[in-house]
Structure 1
């Protein structure tokens, strides 16, 4: 399908940047190539979905992956309760990394929550239903997405910090687990320096844009939130094992609620009350 889109977009008039005379300008800049690729991906994600609803391909893909990740995390949760440390560690770690990679890439292309700023055109129900049910539900869903992404990063780090090995078994290490402010500040400073270097290199190769700045500031903000959570929570649960179990349970509950709110949002948008925006 993507190949057909490429042919249709680049040959039939080729209105994308970097195209001349109905053909792609192979000598165009890398920035133009990235813009063209992004446009193709956006066009691909807007194609009709595969579930037979009014959803786009992007929406169906997102819902499918959300379902898959939820199932994986529930399985990982049961493994943890069954004291299957190795299986739990690798399943949840790989699931969280894959989830972060997929949804970060997807949001960069399609921008999750865009319907919240598009007005009622994307929702086919009544204005009252839109104002008092759909928007609060979507707002709750987006808020939980942010919390879920923060907790995914935090739990990955916490999992490595609290693990220990005994007779070939992976276990949680009980005992005091605290990070001093000075060490936390040093780590954050190093991460900030790396992010700034990446930002400067991007600006040097493809020019400055407010969008790039917001992305990198958002990344630093996310890291800062994770660190702030760590400093606050380690006072409540100084024991590493108890902290991991309590926050793991909280994170799994968040992901289950996310699946419910996402599924209800999908049903309202693309099955019960489809609108004009895919």
Structure 2
């Protein structure tokens, strides 16, 4: 399916029976799916079922990252809602003082959630150990150096540049493409900065994983609430002219 066909499909009426488009309904469905996996995975961790926790969280985060990256390419993460009040059928005051603040928090949490997803995937693999088939966290220091970070970031930057050049070689250059790849580099840089900062606070890998896991879980739950709130306001309570 080409990009233009995908865009047209995403603009079709949604499948939940509201005023939403397919794109909006797909976003809400996937957000519910991700959050469900994260909650189940967190419960498994509380019950000390490390293997179930690992695969629930890993699968959910991989799916979330892949979905948001692809969704950004097609719908810009719903930022179209910032373009004007025509997409919102409520009053101007409700739009200015309720909808926009909630949407702003939601988009900030999306960015934070993506950063934490990538970071927690890497941290999960680094902090774990498997002994006789039993997965657990290692209660040891887990530190890295700026030199190692520089090598990894340089390698990833080179790969992203090659990918970007290959894209513009087969299609016209656009600022949209440039912003996407630059944004990807920025997310990676933020992840590495987070690692170098947080390892000073929690040098123990297991403690770091538990503390940040709880924080990330809260972020995803609030993300789901804000996303559901904007969906409800846009497509159930105050539908506007655009989806």
TM-score by length of 1: 0.85
Distance 1:274 1:115 in 2: 14
For structure 1, which segment, 100-109 or 122-131, has the greater mean C-alpha deviation from structure 2 after superposition? 100-109
Give 1:208 deviation, angstroms.
2.2
Secondary structure, aligned partner of 1:113 = helix
Match of 1:177 among 132, 136, 142: 142
- Superposition map of 1:1-278 within 5 A: 37-278=2-243
Runs of 4+ in 1 over 6 A off after TM superposition: none
Distance 2:233 2:103 in 1: 11
Quick check: which has more Rg, 1 or 2? 1
User: Per-residue displacement from partner, 1:146-195 (whole Å, max 9, x unpaired)?
Assistant: 00011000000000000112232100001111111111111111111111
Q: In 2, are the aligned partners of 1:113 and 1:138 still within 8 Å (CA)? A: no
The alignment's C-alpha RMSD in Å is 1.2
Instruction: Output the CA distance in 1 between the equivalents of 2:80 and 2:92.
Output: 14
Point out where structure 1 has 5 or more consecutive residues left out of the alignment. 1-33
Give CA deviations for 1:24-81 in whole Å, capped at 9, x if unaligned: xxxxxxxxxx8xx222111111111111111111111110111111111100001111
Quote the offset at 1:89 in angstroms.
Answer: 0.9
Q: Which has the higher contact order (CA 8 A, sep 6+)?
A: 2
Are the counterparts in 2 of residues 80 and 88 from structure 1 also a CA contact under 8 Å? yes
Please identify which structure carries the higher helix content.
2
Which shifted more, 37-46 or 119-128? 37-46
